């Protein structure tokens, strides 16, 4: 038990004479970490917590989603009148509510871009919970503000921005980063928008252009910012999930001719499912040509690299030396990554999520501008923030960040990881994951032959998307028909195969038992020529402990069962 050492002796500076209140105060104030409480007693409860966590990490598995017991708990549970013991809080609250989250550290849940948080990041987060810096303002956060700037400049270096010229801040997630990039784009296109509101649009209709596979957060940005979801122009994609350049050119030209103002071009480097990458350089070239031709201002180019940013760490890997000993196939993928991701530097702003591929816990996400001057467009008026002017400290991110209170853990987690791993560590972890993904894809094809089609084999990274086809069908041929066919029969066929895969996936969920691999499934990884969604199974390998043989074995059991029935 934690003792109230200091207070017991000194009785709260004798302000309080009432014995009942004194006793109660002693009971509860022991939870305050004052100068003396970070000692053996604190270590004791931390040890208790860790012992409990160890047990749930071994036992944890995702059984099903929120079940009916949840409602019962909602009705029964009440805030206690008298506080519980810390042991009970650990057991019945903290461990209880974390008990059936999949253990992402174990490697049996490669269902999405959810990394195992690494120990340096965990320690950083833990320390932030104790010290509790608030990055809104230097007086509240001290040097933690510097940590944020350092993290931004390191991330800028990785994605190819000049660290001294770029600037940015950590947000509450990739979604918020995307919203604020579009907000900045609007302010650029309509100066004074912040003060004048929608009147600043005058008669211009703002539009955003993106690929049809653009992340939904961006459509939501259009909804929130008054652009309107109808004004998000969706451009078709190539079979490699990348925005089609000819289609982009004609859509942008059409928008300009209709007198619309293109405020933002939103591109993706690493789509959530396929990890597809848009050709940023190609889009920027077309965009600049059109702006010159029609004498219209250049839109803001935002790249959502929430998923893909980490692939830029290979740019200084000496492929010919191959000091880490990657396979030839892996080196080919690294070459491809270097080629695709080198064009990130053509963006005006980039979203990066260390909590996706950077091995941090949630949340660690940043919006980075190529030119920190763009931050001025998001600046609030001095008189709107009167209580941040009390002293001489000058660093005040709250002047331009959408959030006011911001924790220090986002920047500190990625810094801790970057320094614990270095370039070499990240290259090792991500390179190995790529290598495992290549092996997984070839095993998938070898095991299921004509019954399986891998959809994103040409997209470099650690994602594998695939579809199963019923016995007797030729997968490659069938997929081509789905992707390119436009007749009603073709669409019905796609619908049928979507259902076939979804039913299989539902069956696989019922088969889950202790530590069976948990795979992902997405209802739309690409759309066909008629705009119809094509779904797929997905496996994202980030964790080095993913057991690809066990995944293949489990899929075999599933398919054998279906064929037998």
Ligand X SMILES: *Cc1c(COP(=O)(O)O)cnc(C)c1O
Interface with ligand X by CB under 6 A: which residues?
173-175, 178, 215, 217, 268, 271-272, 304, 306-307, 353, 365
Q: Looking at beta carbons only, is 175 or 249 nearer to ligand X?
A: 175
Q: How far is the CB of 170 from ligand X (least distance, A)?
A: 11
Q: Looking at beta carbons only, is 479 or 521 nearer to ligand X?
A: 521
Q: How far is the CB of 477 from ligand X (least distance, A)?
A: 31
Q: Looking at beta carbons only, is 331 or 350 nearer to ligand X?
A: 350
| Long-range Cβ contacts of 103-106 (<8 Å, 24+ apart) | 103/56, 103/57, 103/60, 103/61, 104/543, 105/57, 105/543, 105/545, 106/57, 106/60, 106/515, 106/543, 106/545
Sign of the dihedral defined by the CA atoms of residues 26, 28, 34, 40, in that order: positive
304: which strand partners? Answer: 268, 351
Q: How far is the CB of 346 from ligand X (least distance, A)?
A: 18
352: which strand partners? Answer: 305, 366
Q: Looking at beta carbons only, is 217 or 242 nearer to ligand X?
A: 217
Q: Looking at beta carbons only, is 194 or 533 nearer to ligand X?
A: 533
Q: Are 536 and 501 in contact (CB under 8 A)?
A: yes
Q: Could you identify the residue written with the tokens 């001294």?
A: 164
Q: Looking at beta carbons only, is 255 or 350 nearer to ligand X?
A: 350
- DSSP 8-class letter at 95: I
Three-class secondary structure of residue 332 per DSSP? helix
CB atoms within 10 A of CB 29: 15
Q: Looking at beta carbons only, is 346 or 388 nearer to ligand X?
A: 346
Q: Shortest CA distance to 445 belongs to which of 467, 413, 462, 472?
A: 467
Residue nearest to ligand X (CB): 174
- DSSP 8-class letter at 166: -
Q: Looking at beta carbons only, is 148 or 482 nearer to ligand X?
A: 148
Q: How far is the CB of 374 from ligand X (least distance, A)?
A: 20
Residues 6+ positions from 359 with CB-CB distance below 8 Å: 115, 116, 117, 118, 121, 417, 421, 429, 542
Q: How far is the CB of 357 from ligand X (least distance, A)?
A: 10
Q: How far is the CB of 41 from ligand X (least distance, A)?
A: 37
Q: How far is the CB of 358 from ligand X (least distance, A)?
A: 11
207: which strand partners? Answer: 262
CB atoms within 10 A of CB 161: 26
Strands (E), 181-259: 205-211, 232-235
Q: How far is the CB of 145 from ligand X (least distance, A)?
A: 22
Q: Looking at beta carbons only, is 116 or 174 nearer to ligand X?
A: 174
Residue 202 has phi, psi (to 5 degrees) of 40, -120
CB atoms within 10 A of CB 15: 6
Label residue 112 left, alpha or beta by phi (over 0 means left) and psi (-120 to 50 means alpha): beta
Q: Looking at beta carbons only, is 140 or 179 nearer to ligand X?
A: 179
Q: How far is the CB of 266 from ligand X (least distance, A)?
A: 10
Q: How far is the CB of 75 from ligand X (least distance, A)?
A: 31
Residues across the chain: 565
Task: Annotate 222-258 with b (16+ C-beta within 10 A) or e (fewer).
Answer: beebebeeebbbbbbbbeebbbbbebbbebbeebbee
């Amino acid at each position: 038990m934690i003792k109230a050492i200091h207070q017991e002796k000194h009785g709260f500076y004798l302000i309080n004479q009432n014995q009942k209140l004194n006793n109660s105060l002693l009971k509860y104030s022991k939870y305050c970490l004052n100068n003396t409480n970070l000692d053996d007693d604190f270590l004791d409860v931390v040890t208790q917590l860790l012992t409990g966590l160890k047990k749930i990490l071994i036992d944890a598995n995702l059984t099903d989603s929120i079940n009916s017991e949840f409602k019962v708990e909602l009705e029964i549970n009440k805030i206690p009148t008298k506080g519980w013991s810390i042991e009970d809080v650990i057991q019945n609250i903290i461990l209880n509510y974390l008990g059936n989250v999949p253990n992402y550290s174990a490697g049996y849940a490669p269902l999405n871009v959810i990394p195992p948080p690494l120990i340096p990041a965990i320690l950083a987060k833990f320390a932030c919970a104790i010290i509790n810096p608030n990055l809104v303002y230097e007086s509240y956060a001290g040097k933690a503000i510097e940590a944020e700037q350092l993290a931004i400049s390191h991330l800028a270096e990785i994605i190819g921005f000049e660290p001294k010229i770029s600037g940015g801040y950590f947000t509450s997630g990739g979604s918020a980063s995307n919203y604020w990039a579009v907000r900045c784009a609007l302010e650029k296109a309509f100066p004074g928008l912040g003060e004048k509101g929608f009147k600043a649009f005058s008669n211009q209709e703002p539009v955003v252009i993106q690929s049809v596979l653009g992340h939904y957060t961006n459509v939501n940005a259009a909804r929130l910012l008054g652009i309107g979801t109808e004004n998000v122009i969706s451009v078709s994609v190539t079979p490699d999930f990348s925005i089609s350049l000819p289609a982009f050119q004609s859509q942008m030209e059409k928008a300009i001719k209709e007198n619309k103002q293109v405020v933002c071009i939103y591109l993706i480097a690493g789509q959530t499912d396929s990890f597809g990458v848009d050709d940023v350089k190609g889009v920027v070239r077309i965009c600049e040509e059109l702006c010159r031709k029609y004498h219209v201002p250049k839109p803001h180019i935002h790249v959502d690299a929430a998923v893909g940013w980490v692939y830029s760490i290979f740019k200084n890997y000496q492929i010919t030396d191959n000091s880490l000993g990657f396979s030839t196939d892996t080196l080919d993928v690294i070459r491809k990554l270097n080629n695709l991701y080198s064009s990130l530097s053509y963006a005006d702003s980039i979203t990066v999520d260390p909590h996706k591929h950077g091995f941090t816990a949630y949340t660690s996400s940043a919006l980075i501008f190529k030119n920190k001057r763009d931050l001025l467009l998001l600046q609030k008026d001095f008189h709107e923030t009167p209580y941040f002017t009390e002293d001489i400290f000058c660093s005040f991110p709250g002047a331009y960040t959408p959030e006011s209170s911001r924790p220090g853990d986002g920047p500190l987690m990625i810094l801790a990881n970057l320094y614990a791993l270095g370039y070499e560590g990240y290259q090792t972890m991500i390179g190995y994951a790529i290598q495992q993904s290549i092996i997984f894809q070839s095993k998938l094809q070898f095991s299921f032959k004509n019954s399986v089609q891998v959809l994103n084999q040409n997209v470099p990274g650690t994602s594998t998307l695939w579809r199963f086809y019923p016995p007797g069908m030729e997968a490659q041929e069938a997929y081509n028909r789905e992707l390119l066919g436009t007749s009603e029969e073709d669409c019905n066929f796609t619908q049928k195969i979507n259902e076939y895969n979804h039913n299989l996936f539902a069956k696989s969920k019922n088969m889950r038992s202790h530590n069976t691999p948990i795979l992902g499934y997405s209802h739309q990884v690409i759309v066909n020529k008629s705009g119809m969604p094509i779904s797929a199974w997905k496996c994202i390998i980030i964790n080095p402990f993913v057991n690809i043989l066990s995944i293949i074995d489990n899929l075999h059991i599933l398919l054998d069962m279906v064929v037998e029935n």
